[in-house]
Structure 1
């Protein structure tokens, strides 16, 4: 996804809705690290895992203890675990392979977003962002919680005093709205209602830096790009802000200590702000200057080249795409229904959105196929041009250039065992045991439907064997499997009348055709012939009856 070689008029981003997924009422979505599996939380408390390649359901995680709507889903780094938060204040950790529940913790408040620690192979620590309290670190095995600081006072000690940290009812004054880990999980970034970004050390739980945002509006969303180089925030002032991360990706606390040592001359809140200014630098601001709409579910593309924001207006399913320079490149319009969640594919130019009714829409790029260029040196002409042939083009024995000798050593052994690192994943060596696909499980038909089909087929067989006296005679004469001509005519008439009521168009016979059939019927008057006992006479009598009743058929058609 190198932007420098992409046509500026054909950006590498989705443009149209390619397909949609339906399974109950889905509320939130999340891709695994490779983008091969898509997890969706439903309103009935289940978590559905889709195979994104085949667009089929690979697994469904059901918890009998949870029947409340899911608020967020989060994959572990290796894709073998999923963390699910629900409106019943629960956090549930699932094993994706065998579908077993590993742990379940109940908090004091409903969690809007929950994230697993990205640095551990076997995740047991999660970051939960409740609605009406400070974000907490939750140990999913023991159930213990650690409350993160949400503001700093003028003393600059990192954690405010108890007298200033709570109101009379015990609630914190600066209720945070978002928090996230950095790429390796050694630092936590918290956004509060004062419009401040707090940089917190994961081990010491101390505020190491503060970055105030312009306007001081409440921060609703905060997240990092996949490579950890950029930070995105969404505030109540209808603005999405992108920051450049200046800290080292491998060891954030050590890089933070180096920045802190360079600010030893300052104290208190001024020092924290100085440290924060050397950690995050505001790069761009994204907003709709005309409509001034609120943003929902902002995110980066998989390569970090595009910034995405969804409209928070009711009755709109609009997605805005900007480049990192701040230029609006595309506005995607979906169905006339509100959008609840949004996710970009980690590797490919795909995007997935969820509407209010619970359907998942898959956005893809609209590729224009060109079938005219077959050969590599083929040139498509806009108009006719006069062709000038070469001097030796049509010679019988043209001069053949000598083939240049290659410098490749053909005797050298070819290594077919070593797996090269994927350029899209900077730490692909850490994911040897990563789960990429789930085995498909066939779904048998329901027994009720099978009984229904068997019963209907039995009724059809019975109706074929029981009928008019002619069918009984045919059965006695060994012709039970054949329908009589009168029955065929009657069935065709019944089918035509039924089809006329259900279909939009009904075909009628022409007037000339009716006149010809009437003349033919007058030439053959109706005669009543008694059936004889022989087989040949019965078959002849039945044929004569059909020919003689042609006038009756015409009357029915008229």
Structure 2
């Protein structure tokens, strides 16, 4: 769609279901960084990769040992690898181009969400969020697992703190399930059941800051925006909260160390909370004050201007859209099927929603074209109006008052090969190694299909065969396929080459001989005129 003819006041968010994707029973989805490919995890353990431009299946990743449902899908930074978490407590890393399994790792708990490390083009380290235990750092090559601290009591000098059955104060153990990397991957943000966000150093696993959530509700989801500037949380109090990230994207860990060093608090907990208050600042909260619904799969738009959340109510396919200020701008209502997962396109105002039945719905914008953008002097009318011309509207204008036409250099070379950089992506995100599309991999026919095709071809007569002619008439034995090709070539050459001549029949020869013997009318007239002249 041409952006110049789109009304800018419409709002750049989806409005209607454009179409849907169907391939088995899909459970979760994820776009690659450019939005050209979509990976969907299915209930049979397979991972389907869709070409989003053509809406066709580009590749299917299937492990014969995996038959359980996939719970989450994650792309690597440049699209070379895909990591899936499976309900059978396993993690499978795939090579996207080759379609081969790189590694398979088994956990003690079922992983609900996985994230590949964003700081490497071909990562082998991931962050896993199990069902009822602390998040883990997993080395997919060696299978080594490291438990992240979920409270200040768990963080110590030991780089791999063990899980505790109870805390020092006798309270119940934490069951955090929310964690994510920041944009560069040097920090991990962990949410616990006490309503706190812990900022953890990825290398040392030390807590560098604590941000308490208002109300102290259990944090179910933590999502960073694409540019790393905003953070979104989903809590058990049925509220989505958006935070502004004040840490720099590159040297966030260095900034945290400086804040800790300059802190005036003597207590360690107070010092971490003071640092956390300078890391994240609450911008707004989103909730439905009427229905008080729980939220599922919240995420940001590609340009970070909008926030969406799916209704967790059964039999309800509703998507709520807010702006960053917290104002509700749209409610999308789909079929009567519960929402399982949501994903916003990185570039375009398109949202994918996965229903309980396993179908993926594509929500797109219903554009209203603004044709007056081509000529600002034009006025768009809602209905026909009688036009009254001005008195001097069609008067001849002198040459001096005419607007000078814009000079166009017709000899200037136009570059049709260079690709303009998209303002959505920063220079650091651009890479020549990134995979945006997958080559077509046609499936060969089975022997039964080949035999069927051969049988059909034997029964079907070719137009150039000796048994079938034009208009259903049989060709003579002399009219071969080569003759037909020569005749068509003669017609293409503009008649410069004549078609092959047929031998005339005996009847035609007799008619031609009689015609030659009979004198024409012109010769008879000329003979009569000569006799008249001789007479006189």
TM-score using structure 1 length: 0.74
Matched, 1:385 2:364: no
1:58–1:438 contact (8 Å) kept in structure 2: yes
Superposition RMSD in Å: 3.6
Cα deviation digits, residues 345-364 of structure 1 (max 9, x gap)? 00000000000010000000
Asked if 1:165 is matched to 2:167, the reply is: no
| Residue correspondence of structure 1 range 83-232 to structure 2 within 5 A | 83-153=83-153, 165-167=164-166, 173-232=173-232
Correspondence list, 1:82-481, <5 A: 82-153=82-153, 165-167=164-166, 173-369=173-369, 377-382=377-382, 383-390=385-392, 393-395=394-396, 401=402, 403=404, 421-428=421-428, 430-443=430-443
Deviation at 1:410, TM superposition (A): 11
The CA deviation string for residues 373-409 of structure 1, in whole angstroms up to 9 with x for no partner, is 8766443345223121536x35498657474787x99
Instruction: Assess, with a 3 A threshold, how the Cα gap between structure 1 residues 172 and 423 changes in structure 2: closer, same or farther.
Output: farther
- Where 1:165 maps in the other structure, the secondary structure is coil
Q: Runs of 5+ in structure 2 lacking a partner? A: 462-472, 474-536
Query: Aligned partners of 1:66, 1:51: CA distance in 2, in Å?
Result: 24
Q: Which runs of 5+ in 1 are unaligned?
A: 462-480, 482-558
For residues 392-443 of structure 1, what are the alpha-carbon distances to aligned partners after superposition, in whole Å with 9 as ceiling and x for unaligned? x35498657474787x999999988876543111244542210000112334
Task: Quote the residue 2:529 is aligned against.
Answer: none
Equivalent-residue separation in structure 1 for 2:214 and 2:354 (angstroms)? 31
For residues 255 and 285 of structure 2, what CA distance do their matches in structure 1 show? 26
SS in 2 for 1:282: strand
Q: Deviation at 1:22? A: 0.4
Paired with 2:443 and 2:162, the residues of 1 have a C-alpha distance of: 60
Change (3 A) 1:6 1:264: farther
- Judged with a 3 Å threshold, the aligned counterparts in structure 2 of structure 1 residues 158 and 271 are, in CA distance, closer, same or farther, namely farther
Query: Counterpart of 2:479?
Result: none
Which secondary structure does the structure 1 equivalent of 2:10 belong to?
Answer: coil
* TM-fit CA distance, 1:144: 0.7
Per-residue deviation, residues 460-500 of structure 1 (Å, max 9, x unmatched): 99xxxxxxxxxxxxxxxxxxx9xxxxxxxxxxxxxxxxxxx
TM-score, length-normalised on structure 2? 0.77
Q: CA deviation at 1:156?
A: 8.0
* Contact 2:234 2:298 (8 Å CA) reproduced: yes
Contact 2:226 2:303 in 1 (8 A): yes
Residue deviations 1:249-277, cap 9 Å, x none? 11110111122122143322111111111
Deviation at 1:298, TM superposition (A): 0.3
1:373 touches 1:380 (CA, 8 Å); kept in 2?
Answer: no
Contact residue 179 and residue 189 of structure 1 kept, 8 A: yes
- Cα distance in 1 for residues equivalent to 2:100 and 2:160: 43
> Does the CA-based 8 Å contact 2:6-2:367 persist in structure 1?
no
Over 3 Å counting, the alpha-carbon distance change for 1:323 and 1:374 in structure 2 is: closer
